[in-house]
């Protein structure tokens, strides 16, 4: 891949001894074991220390937003899974919420509970992958496999619930596609009983390991002002000390009825807003999700799980912008309807897209090894960036 079109200014400097040095330009190319998905960074480096790492996106662009205009309201739901296939339930939820706001549909209570259960399980799913990949990028391969093992149990749960392990297509406009199968709640409770001690074990294995904390503590500190300026959301924002969570501040669905805390980075291994903070916020969020799930198990009511919507769904003219707290932060869905069976426009705002923009700022004077840590701590997933 040439650097044509990428005017990277290569600096040549003449030191006092008359030696001319030149920056090294590396392409951490689209195929790389640790850029999460298909990303590319053009790295200008002076040996091991980087001057800058410029992200190059677009390798995973699939025109999903344009496809929405072609396949119709119901037909677009499977495509939303692919917007962020690591945390697919949130995308389902976003699209259905937006359509329901436009059409003024009220979703039954049990359906909301089912949605929140699916969301929080998916948050566990996504965070497990995120912390696992982070550990793997730092060099510890075992925690990744343990995270994947736990994800397999979650996959089994999802498989029973909606038939699929990755692209769930669980929610429908007006509710959810399937009611909880008999015995599933007990299985989920059993999984939570097994899983919560394992988060602690994971902490003991890797989170507070001296090498790991040295690698992450104090690296790539993002202050609260920078985080807000660059539009970071989710664990990235909370890692920098800003207490903002869409579930608490702009509540939707049944979150007002649930009690949970929002973990915020405290700089325990360095400064507030370093890579370790973002990592540990995710670990704590997993524990909070378990709490939420247990409350949902206790509080879920009986009732219908969908408000039937006609096959030929034609919402009134209008638009809606809904926000929800995805695993990667504030996910925004802006949907415009022109009264026909096909949406006029769908725009998706994802957390990773803003996160990748801060990489260029934060990568100055980091080492190449730290760049990997930064990318992993920001939890970038390429499908979300490119859509």
How big is the CA angle at 124 (ends 171 and 207), to the nearest 5 degrees? 165
Q: Is there binding between residue 8 and other proteins (CB under 8 A)?
A: no
**CB closer to other proteins, 332 vs 343:** 343
| Cα–Cα nearest to 354, from 234, 223, 216 | 234
Q: Is there binding between residue 164 and other proteins (CB under 8 A)?
A: yes
**CB closer to other proteins, 133 vs 354:** 133
Q: Is there binding between residue 258 and other proteins (CB under 8 A)?
A: no
Q: Is there binding between residue 254 and other proteins (CB under 8 A)?
A: no
Site mask, other proteins, residues 43-62, x = CB under 8 A?
A: ----xx--------------
Number of residues near other proteins (by CB under 8 A): 75
Report, in Å, the least distance between residue 96 CB and other proteins.
13
Distance of CA 223 to CAs 220, 228, 265, 287, 355, Å? 10, 9, 11, 25, 14
- Three-state secondary-structure class, residue 42: strand
Q: Is there binding between residue 155 and other proteins (CB under 8 A)?
A: no
* Residues between 303 and 342 that touch other proteins (CB under 8 A): 303-309, 311
Q: What is the dihedral of CA 85, 241, 225, 331, to 10 degrees?
A: 20
Among 215, 282, 284, 328, interactor with other proteins by CB under 8 A = 215
Quick count: other Cβ atoms within 10 Å of Cβ 288?
19
**CB closer to other proteins, 233 vs 309:** 309
Q: Is there binding between residue 33 and other proteins (CB under 8 A)?
A: yes
**CB closer to other proteins, 66 vs 149:** 149
Among 66, 149, 190, 364, interactor with other proteins by CB under 8 A = 149
Report, in Å, the least distance between residue 307 CB and other proteins.
6
- Hey, what are 191's tokens? 């999984």
Q: Is there binding between residue 302 and other proteins (CB under 8 A)?
A: no
Q: Is there binding between residue 181 and other proteins (CB under 8 A)?
A: yes
- Three-state secondary-structure class, residue 326: strand
What is the C-alpha to C-alpha distance for residues 353 and 386, in angstroms, rounded to an integer? Answer: 8
Q: Are 36 and 371 in contact (CB under 8 A)?
A: no
Q: Is there binding between residue 136 and other proteins (CB under 8 A)?
A: yes
Q: Are 108 and 304 in contact (CB under 8 A)?
A: yes
Give the interface segment with other proteins, choosing from 31-39, 120-128, 283-291, 352-360 (CB under 8 A): 31-39
Q: Is there binding between residue 294 and other proteins (CB under 8 A)?
A: no
* Residues between 344 and 383 that touch other proteins (CB under 8 A): 367-370, 372
Among 13, 63, 142, 365, interactor with other proteins by CB under 8 A = 142
Among 209, 223, 226, 231, interactor with other proteins by CB under 8 A = 209
Report, in Å, the least distance between residue 201 CB and other proteins.
6
Residue with tokens 């149990």: 153
Q: Is there binding between residue 301 and other proteins (CB under 8 A)?
A: no
Report, in Å, the least distance between residue 242 CB and other proteins.
28
**Which residues pair with residue 171 across a beta bridge?**
176
**CB closer to other proteins, 140 vs 300:** 140
Quick count: other Cβ atoms within 10 Å of Cβ 211?
11
DSSP state letter for 255: G
| Cα–Cα nearest to 190, from 217, 234, 154, 164 | 154
What is the C-alpha to C-alpha distance for residues 69 and 65, in angstroms, rounded to an integer? Answer: 7
User: What stretch of H or E contains 310?
Assistant: none
Q: Is there binding between residue 135 and other proteins (CB under 8 A)?
A: yes
Q: Which residues of 9-43 are buried (b: 16+ CB within 10 A; e: fewer)?
A: eeeeeeeeeeeeeebeeeebebeeebbbbbbbbbb
**Which residues pair with residue 329 across a beta bridge?**
326
Q: Is there binding between residue 268 and other proteins (CB under 8 A)?
A: no
Site mask, other proteins, residues 77-106, x = CB under 8 A?
A: xxx-------------------------x-
């Amino acid at each position: 891949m040439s650097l044509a079109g990428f005017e990277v200014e290569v600096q040549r400097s003449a030191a006092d001894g008359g030696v001319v040095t030149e920056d090294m330009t590396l392409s951490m190319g689209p195929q790389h074991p640790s850029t999460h998905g298909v990303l590319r960074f053009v790295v200008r480096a002076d040996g091991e220390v980087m001057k800058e790492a410029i992200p190059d996106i677009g390798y995973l662009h699939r025109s999903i937003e344009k496809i929405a205009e072609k396949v119709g309201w119901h037909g677009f739901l499977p495509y939303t899974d692919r917007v962020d296939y690591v945390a697919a339930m949130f995308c389902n939820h976003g699209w259905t919420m937006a359509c329901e706001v436009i059409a003024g549909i009220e979703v039954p209570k049990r359906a909301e509970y089912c949605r929140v259960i699916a969301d929080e399980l998916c948050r566990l799913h996504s965070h497990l992958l995120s912390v696992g990949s982070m550990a793997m990028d730092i060099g510890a391969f075992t925690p990744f496999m343990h995270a994947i093992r736990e994800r397999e149990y979650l996959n089994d749960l999802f498989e029973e619930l909606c038939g699929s392990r990755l692209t769930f297509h669980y929610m429908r406009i007006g509710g959810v596609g399937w009611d909880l199968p008999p015995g599933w709640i007990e299985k989920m409770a059993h999984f939570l009983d097994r899983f919560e001690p394992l988060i602690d074990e994971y902490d003991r294995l890797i989170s507070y390991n001296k090498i790991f904390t040295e690698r992450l503590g104090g690296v790539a500190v993002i202050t609260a002002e920078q985080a807000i300026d660059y539009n970071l959301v989710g664990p990235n924002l909370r890692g920098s000390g800003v207490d903002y969570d869409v579930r608490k501040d702009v509540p939707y669905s049944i979150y007002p009825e649930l009690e949970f805390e929002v973990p915020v980075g405290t700089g325990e291994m360095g400064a507030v807003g370093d890579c370790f903070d973002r990592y540990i916020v995710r670990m704590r969020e997993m524990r909070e999700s378990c709490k939420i799930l247990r409350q949902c198990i206790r509080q879920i009511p009986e009732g219908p799980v969908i408000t039937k919507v006609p096959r030929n769904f034609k919402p009134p003219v209008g638009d809606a912008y809904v926000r929800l707290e995805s695993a990667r932060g504030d996910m925004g869905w802006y949907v415009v309807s022109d009264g026909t069976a096909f949406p006029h426009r769908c725009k998706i705002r994802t957390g990773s897209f803003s996160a990748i923009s801060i990489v260029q700022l934060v990568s100055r004077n980091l080492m190449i090894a730290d760049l990997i840590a930064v990318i992993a701590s920001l939890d970038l997933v390429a499908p979300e960036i490119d859509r």
